[in-house]
A and B are shown apart, each in its own frame.
Chain A
C-alpha cells in the first residue's frame, strides 16, 4: 500500500500537474483556433506562426528595453493588429467563394510558409531565450515546481475563464455568436458583420500570440516553433468540436492529461501517434467532435 501511495504522490501527481500546465497552454492555442473556425469558418493553418510571431515580438520588445510584463500586455495588442490586417487584406479576398474552407486552408498555409521564413530572416535561425520574470520554485507534493509555471497555469486559467465570459456573458460576445449563427440576419439587425469578423480573427490571433509570450520562457524561441503546437491544437479543436469553446477547453485539458500520464507507461515517442489515433477514432464515431459549434456553445 505505501508503495502505491508513493507512486501516486511522487510519480502520478507531478505528472498530472505538469500535464495541467501544458494543458493550459494548449487550450489557449486551441481557443483562438476554434473561435476563428466557429465564427469565420476559416481554417487558420498559420495559427502556429502567429504563436511564433508573438514570442518573437516579445523578444524584440525585451531587447528594446521593456520588461516582461509590458511585453505580455503589448504583444497580444500588436498581434491583434496583425490579425486584423491579415483578415482584411488576405482572408476576405477568398472569403466569399464556395470553396472557402479549402481556399482559406491553402491561403493560410501559404502565409505560414512566408511568415516562418520572414522570422528566420529577421531574427536568424538560432534559438533565443526569454528569461522567466518569476524565478524560484515552490515545493509541492515533494517535487520542486517552478513558480513561473504555476503562474502560467493560474493566469492561463483566468484567461480561459475570461474568454468564456466574454463570449457568453457580454453583448460583444452575443454579437459574435449571432454573426456566427446567421450572418445575414445579424447584418440586417445592425450587427457590423465584417468588423465583427475581422475583430474576431484578430482576437483569435492575439490569443495565439499571448500563448507565445507566456510560453517563451519555458519552451524558448526559434523560427520553427510554430510547428510545435499545430498538430495538437488542431487535434484538440477537432476532438472538442470545431467552433466549440467548451470542447476546446475540455478536450485540451483531457488530452494533455492523457499524453502526460500515458508517457509513464509507453515510450514518449508514441505520444503524438496516440493523440492522432484518438482524433481518428473520435472522427469516425462522431465526425462533428464532442460538442457543437460556437453558436450553440
Chain B
C-alpha cells in the first residue's frame, strides 16, 4: 500500500510538473493594428512572431512556450489602457509590450504598475519614458531620441564641420523637443543655426516655408517630421529644388519603411541616426534579416528588429532570474546583457534604458547604408531617472 501511495504521489507530482513545464508564458502585445501607425504595428508583430517561433522551437523560456496575445490600441492611449488592463486582468499575461506612441507607453506603464507586472517598449523614443517620467515597471529596448541625435550630430560634425543648419519640425511637443535635442547636440559640436520653422502637424503644403529656407542658405536641413508629413515635405522639396546642394538630415522616425515607398528617389542622400539598419554586416544580423524576410516578405526595420529583440531580452532575464516573478525579473533585467541582431545590448539599471551602438545611416536607392557609428557608452546620455 505504501508503495502504491508513493507511486501515486510520484505520478501526480510528475504530472503536475509536466503540466507546469508546458503552461505557456503569456506575452500581451498592445500595438496599433489599425490607424495611421498600423504599418509600425505590423513590423512589431512580424518581429515578435519571428522571435516567439524561434524561441519556442528551441525549447521556450524555462521550458515553457511563449504565447503572444495581440490587442489593437489604435495609437490612442485611452484605448491602450483599456486593452492593457484586459490583457493583465482577463488574459492574465505575464509581460506586456508593443506600445508605439509615447503617450500610450506612459499610460500603459501605470497600468503595469497597478497590476504588478513589467512591460517594455520597443518603439517609443521620447526621452521622458526612461527620463523624468520613468517607472520601475517600464523598460525600453530601443534607442531613445537623445541617442539618435548623438549619432547624427557626431556624423555631421565629422563630415560637415561647423555646418549651417536650418531646422524644420512639426509644431507639437515631440517635434519641437526632437529639434531642440538635436540642436543642442549639434551646436555642442560646432554647428550653427540659421533659422528654424515649425509647420502644423499634418501640414499639406510646405512651399510657404521654402522662401525662408532659401534665404537662410543652409548647408544642412534638419527635420523631425514623420509619416505622411515627410512624404509631402521631401517630394515638395524636390519639386522646388530646395534639396539641391543641401544635406538633408532628420530624426530616426522621419523616413521609415512605412513611408519610404511613397518618397522614393527624393529620399536619396537623407542621413539619420538610428539603432539599426538591415545592412549591418554581422553574421547574426544577416541570419536575422534572412529569416525575417522569409517570414514577412519584407525587410525588417528598427521597429521589427527591436521587437524581435525584446522577447530574447525576456528570455535572458527569466533564465537569469530562474522565474517569471515580477520582482526577480526586474532585478534580473537591471544590467542585463543579451544578444540582438544589432550586437550586444545592455539594460542600464539606473533607468531601464537599453544601451547599444548607434549608427548614422544614409538612404540610397531605398537602402539604409551605414556611414557612421557611435559606441553605446558615448551615445546613451546621462541618467535622468530619479524615481528608483
A-side interface residues toward B, CB under 8 Å?
A: 10-11, 14-15, 18, 22, 117, 120, 124-129, 132, 137, 143-146, 148-149, 218-222, 224-225, 227-228, 260, 263-264, 267-269, 271-272
Contacts and interface: CB of A to CB of B under 8 A. Distances in A.
A221 B228 CA distance: 9
Interface in B302-321: none
Contacts of B208: 15, 18, 260, 263-264, 268
B171 A228 contact: no
Contacts of B38: 120, 124-125
Nearest to A147: B239
A137 B241 contact: yes
5 contacts: A18-B205, A126-B259, A149-B239, A220-B228, A269-B200
A148 B202 CA distance: 22
A129 to B, nearest CB: 4
A129 B264 contact: yes
B70 interface: no
Contacts of B210: 14, 143
Contact of B227 (A10, A127, A260): A127
B198 A128 contact: no
Contacts of B39: 124-126
Interface in B239-280: 239-241, 258-259, 261-264
Given A125-B35, A126-B262, A127-B259, A268 B204 contact: no
A34 to B, nearest CB: 21
A127 B264 CA distance: 11
Contacts, number: 99
A4 B215 CA distance: 15
B211 A143 contact: yes
A224 to B, nearest CB: 6
B236 interface: yes
Contacts of A271: 200
Contacts of B228: 127, 220, 222, 224-225
B200 A272 contact: yes
Nearest to A125: B38
User: Shortest 4 CB-CB distances between A and B: which pairs?
Assistant: A125-B38, A129-B262, A127-B262, A146-B239
A116 to B, nearest CB: 10
B198 A268 contact: yes
A146 B36 CA distance: 29
B36 A18 contact: no
Interface in B24-38: 34-38
A126 B35 CA distance: 10
A293 to B, nearest CB: 30
A127 B200 contact: no
Nearest to A149: B239
Contacts of B36: 125, 224
Q: Give the contact-size bracket for chain B.
A: 35 or more
Contacts of A219: 204-205, 232
Contacts of A264: 208
Given A125-B35, A269-B198, A220 B235 contact: yes
A142 B171 CA distance: 29
Given A18-B208, A219-B232, A120 B34 contact: yes
Nearest to B230: A127
Contact of A10 (B35, B211, B235, B261): B211
Contacts of B35: 125
Contacts of A267: 171, 198
Interface in B348-388: none
A264 B204 CA distance: 16
Contact of B261 (A22, A117, A126, A224): A126
B207 interface: yes
Contact of B232 (A11, A220, A260, A268): A220
Nearest to A259: B208
B261 A268 contact: no
A268 B200 contact: yes
B203 interface: yes
B231 interface: yes
A60 B371 CA distance: 37
A22 B258 CA distance: 27
Interface string B327-349: 00000000000000000000000
Contacts of B231: 127, 129, 220, 222
Contacts of A146: 239-240
A263 B204 CA distance: 14
A269 B232 contact: no
B37 to A, nearest CB: 8
Instruction: Determine which residue in B36, B204, B259, B263 has the highest number of CB atoms from chain A within 10 A of its CB, and name it.
Output: B204
B291 interface: no
A111 B198 CA distance: 34
Nearest to B205: A22
A146 to B, nearest CB: 4
Nearest to A17: B207
B200 A148 contact: no
A139 to B, nearest CB: 10
A227 B210 CA distance: 25
A268 B171 contact: yes
Which of A125, A129, A218, A228 is most buried by chain B, counting CB atoms within 10 A of its CB?
A125
Contacts of A124: 38-39
Given A137-B241, A221-B262, 18 more contacts: A14-B210, A15-B208, A117-B34, A125-B34, A125-B258, A127-B227, A127-B261, A129-B231, A129-B261, A137-B239, A137-B240, A144-B241, A149-B239, A218-B205, A218-B239, A224-B228, A267-B171, A269-B200
B253 to A, nearest CB: 14
A18 B207 contact: yes
A128 B200 contact: no
